[in-house]
Structure 1
Amino acid sequence: MIFLDAAATTPVRREALEAMWPYLSGEFGNPSSHHSLGEAAAVALAGARSGVAKVLGCRASEVTFTSGGTEADNLAVKGIALARQLADPSLNRVVISAIEHPAVEESARYLERVHGFAVDVLPVDREGLVSVDGLRAVMRPETALVSIMYANNEIGTVQPIASLASVAREHGVPFHTDAVQAAGWLPLDVKALGVDALSISGHKLGAPKGSGVLFTKGRLGVEPLVHGGGQERARRSGTENVAGAVALSTALGLSHAEQPEQAARVSDLRDQFIDQVLATVPDALLTGHRSQRLPSVASFCFPGTSGESVLLELERLGVVCSSGSACAAGSDAPSPVLVALGIAPETAQTAVRFSFTSTVTDAELNEAAAAVETAVGRVRNLASPQAG
């Protein structure tokens, strides 16, 4: 099997498993307990927090562990916007892009539905880019938060986050970025990016599912979503997942160290793969920006096919990939991300996304490109009138 669905999840790294194992076995204490077992867990949790902070270029106190990227996004969007509104009731607007992950979009819609916020949705161009001038045009005195993702999970387009965050900063508005897909592939220094909040998910970079992080800058207020014992500096109550935090910190540190070399290597392989697919399936439509994209994502529409049928044929040929976001599983509606790019709904339903781990090889992608040609050809043949 050739696994090309790393944007959905990645295999857990052995180093992460080994690092977390003690806290699933002998060192099982609650980090809030004041005895030797609890203190050992607290030391491990503090070490994990410091490890994450080192990669992000922030203080350990600015790191909140969560159950994953979805919770981190919810805590950022709802928590920051509501805290700002509590301090100043006139702040009742949030800005998002048209291609945000549902964790951000639905959080914004919750604020709209339940708390009376207005949601300003920034359009994107045909390559999925948000305009810096477009953001500047929608900023209002009432804007409580801007949330724009670093890199899109379906098309791979990378946004000019530092420039966008600068616009928000000019207006004194906090800026959050969903960096779930960017982690492990792009620089994450929060000072260089200029962001006030940043979300990460562990299972996208070699840690187990159920671990995540939210960075929030300094004294930025965050209204908690989960109330209780006041863990995580009262931002997120509940006994911490010590093993998950240790695994995430380990995987993040390793991927950060490998990032420059692996990003360059996989970018080259990605470009070769894209060229091969476009050469052998000439009417294939590459989605997202041609170069300003994640090293790990190549996504296409194959007009005249069914994306799901192409996926089934690819799996028969030993290639595992997806039709888009794993978080939209079970939906047969065209991707809102692709529709936002101006792609017709019937074409958007032919989408297939290939996303790579850092260990993907040239041989695997050559074989996958050949399988794409075969799979698309079979689907079209079966759909032709002659086939009936």
Structure 2
Amino acid sequence: MVPSICIFMTGVCFWITYLSVDGAFLVFTSIQRRFNGRYTCTARNIGTAESATISVDLSVIYPPSRPVISGPDIVVLGESFTLFCYADSIPLPNYYWKVATHTVDVIEARGRVYKYTQSASTYSIWRVCYAEVTLFPTVGAQQHHSIFEKKNMIVQEKTGIWSLPEDVRSVVGKTVDVECKVAGAPAPQVWWTKAGNSSFAYQGGRLFIQNVQAYDAGMYTCNAQNTMTPSGQESRDTRDSRDFVLNVENPVFPGDCAECFNPDLTFKITTTTPSNTVTSATVACPSVANQGLIVATVIGWLLAATLFAIGLLFFLRYRQSSTITKTAEQESSKAHAKNDIHSLAHPSMDRQLPVPPYNRMEPEMVADSPYTELYADHYTEPISDQNSPDYLTSV
């Protein structure tokens, strides 16, 4: 039903306003905001020419339009910001603000202006502006209207390192894995540097060193940086850094160097921080529990050396005995061959000449030889007629 208003007066009358209407009735259909104003009705007596006037104010009331929220789209964690809300209505609406979540339905603030400081780290926040009004028309029942609008704001956060160990200890050959936990929005860039080593560079939030060595010890720095661009403000860089010391222990040395080894065998690694402050990290010897392992290792090496020496001695003796046997075999073979040659050269001499007992070799046993007995005739002088007894007898 289209709201309308009708004013009736007796006699001859007409209406004077920004328009002129003749007649006793003034009817409005499809009420618009432009109908707001004062309307005057004038009545005139035709016979006496007397007139009378009356005025009436017409107020057009209407519910609020959808609110418009103005304010920053990007805010900074820990810094305050302001939002403004506006809705067109007559009468003026009432404003209040809520958090746009399903679990919170509490009014945070009232009025067109909303000021807030975000203290919790989150990616974004939502705020809702409500505009509501109750209409009391002259004709008809009262009406209640409420309408709202949401606004989403991105929350940016300064770079900050909130977790990094101060001292890390490892053993030579192990793996070092250190995590640098960083907060910030946009996500910060993280890299590592090492004091005293300008060529060292490592990217990422985790420092990962495999097969760590003594020269890896020193002071390392975790660096983080991001760039924020809040609404209505200039871009700004935020940065944070934190140090930790890596100590690398050598398991070769026992824990108490003063009792089992020369204390001078320990060494120090000296590093220089960016502030020109010199710090020293002593590579500590392992615990005394490793002494048993070291002693067992030494005994094992000594036992192995002893077994090697014994084996070498047996090998040399066996080689010497084999050489002697081979020499005896060779000498026996030569003697036997000489006997055979002599017998073939003087077949009758063996039958005519007596062999002195001292010129004959006794049988000799030769180990591992196919010849078990060797007979060799040796003569001290060559055989000739001069050696015969008849040679000395005169004729």
TM beyond 0.5: no
Sort the TM-score into its range (normalised by shorter chain).
under 0.3
| Larger Rg belongs to | 2
Q: TM-score, normalised by structure 2?
A: 0.17
Report 1 or 2 for greater relative contact order, CA contacts < 8 Å, sequence distance ≥ 6: 1
Q: TM-score, normalised by structure 1?
A: 0.17
